Amino acid sequence: MNAQSPDPALADLLASRPSLQTDVRDGLMFEGVPLHVIAAAVGTPCWITGAGTLRRRADSLRAAFEARHLPVSFHFAVKSQDHQATLTMLHQCGYGADIVSGGEMKRALAAGIPAANIVFSGVGKTDAELRMAVEQDIAQVNVESVEELYRLDQIAGSMGRVARAALRVNPDVDANTHDKISTGRAGDKFGIEHARAVSLYSEASGLRSIKLVGLAVHLGSQMLTAQPFRLGYQRLADMVREIRSFGGIVESIDCGGGLGIRYRDETAPAPEMLAGVIAETLGDLDVRLSVEPGRWLSAPTGILLSRVIETKAGNPEFVVIDAAMNDLMRPALYDSWHGILPVAPQHFTAPVSPRDVVGPVCESSDIFARDRALPDLERGDLVALLDTGAYGAVMSSTYNSRPFATQVMVDDHRWQIIRERQTVEELIAAESVPDWIKPRNA
């Protein structure tokens, strides 16, 4: 993203997002549903997921690989959006799950995803989580360290089982992305150093309770060019050939995810680019391939709908909305940019001027936008924060005792609540006071 370029105009934000439409009476609509109708029914803030958008993107990603005749399986990165409705839909589209915790494993299984289509990635898997993976007989555990490999062998052996595993390699490739979402550089906490991985593969092949099936990699997130993918996958291809040169068996390569999207004015890569790079670097190795899309699938499916509480005159002018950093953490955490659109029809032809859009949480970092060109907004007006389907609701908290917001799914002019708004009373009811602390009025 070029920090010096002007923000996209409201019309450009609309034009680049085919799931959004405007109507002269109803204003902004998402997959044919007027957003003001949802706000009136369930209140704000409110998360909205577009089922049709998710379905189309899942199909287009699959088609890109089918066109290359690549033997690829797809495992959705559950960490990006973990709602049961999303997981169930993607299971219907033929996707499995890439998980990073025992909780995500339970979510995937509850959505009907077979254990044989679940891959367990992530640093710091507990013994209990590894035991669960072995019990469920999942497709594979992507092992992140020497220590984890031997723990998994011991746990599986104690259960009389053999666990399928892949070594997750850190290829020391710079993904040219935000520091906080880079996972494939030498200084990142993820994976096994590529210089160590080849010898470890030989050692692991001798373990009694491990069936080593291949290698895995994940270079980073929001990657916008082919070169990091090409470098990382070529490094894996070289490792496969070296392992096979001493008789090692490599059956599969997990290519990870990382494909980026257009939030602001980025040139987002098409899935055909990723399919092409994988075909070029790994296509002649006679291995099963898998990819782990997350953000690319889920981010464009989401909107955070919010209402203006008040405007605060000054320099800058503040527009205070009822969504906050506890709802959408990404701007505070990563300085991420999200498009913001008004909902009322008259606002799309009104003059615009720079405004800061902020939330009500008691933190200076509770800011969604600086100097954003928006029309005059008043108390009660609705705004939509775009591309919040990935790392949005899943990263929400109840900071400032703000309950989790309602979640809604829209699909071809229909909509339904998929998670009710939490109440403060429910927050309090989950807490208890030790017996030795007596109320003052007791």
Active site residues: 362
Q: Which two tokens stand for residue 278?
A: 């994988």
Mark out the alpha helices in 67-193 (DSSP H runs). 84-92, 102-110, 127-136, 146-158
What residue has token string 């850190």?
170
The torsion of the CA quartet 320, 321, 322, 325, rounded to 10 degrees, works out to -90
User: Residue 296: helix, strand or coil by DSSP?
Assistant: helix
DSSP 334-395: H-----EEE-SGGGGSS--EEEEEE-SSSSTT-EEEEEEEE----TT-EEEEES-SSSSGGG
First to last CA, the chain: 60
For the annotated binding site for substrate, the residues are 295, 330, 334, 363, 391
In terms of residues, how long is the chain? 442
119, 292 contact by CB (below 8 A): yes
211, 134 contact by CB (below 8 A): no
> Distance between CA 216 and CA 165 in Å, rounded?
10
C-alpha distance from residue 113 to each of 76, 106, 116, 174 (Å): 11, 10, 8, 33
Q: Which two tokens stand for residue 104?
A: 């995500």
User: Residue 407: helix, strand or coil by DSSP?
Assistant: strand
For the annotated binding site for pyridoxal 5'-phosphate, the residues are 258, 292-295, 391
**b/e burial code for range 355-364 (CB count within 10 A of at least 16 → b):** bbbbbbbeee
What φ, ψ does residue 128 adopt, rounded to 5°? -65, -40
User: Residue 24: helix, strand or coil by DSSP?
Assistant: coil
Enumerate residues 6+ apart whose C-beta is below 8 A from 335: none
For the annotated binding site, the residues are 258, 292-295, 330, 334, 363, 391
- The strand pair at 318-321 and 340-342 is best described as unpaired
Question: What is the distance of C-alpha 12 from the center of its chain?
Answer: 24
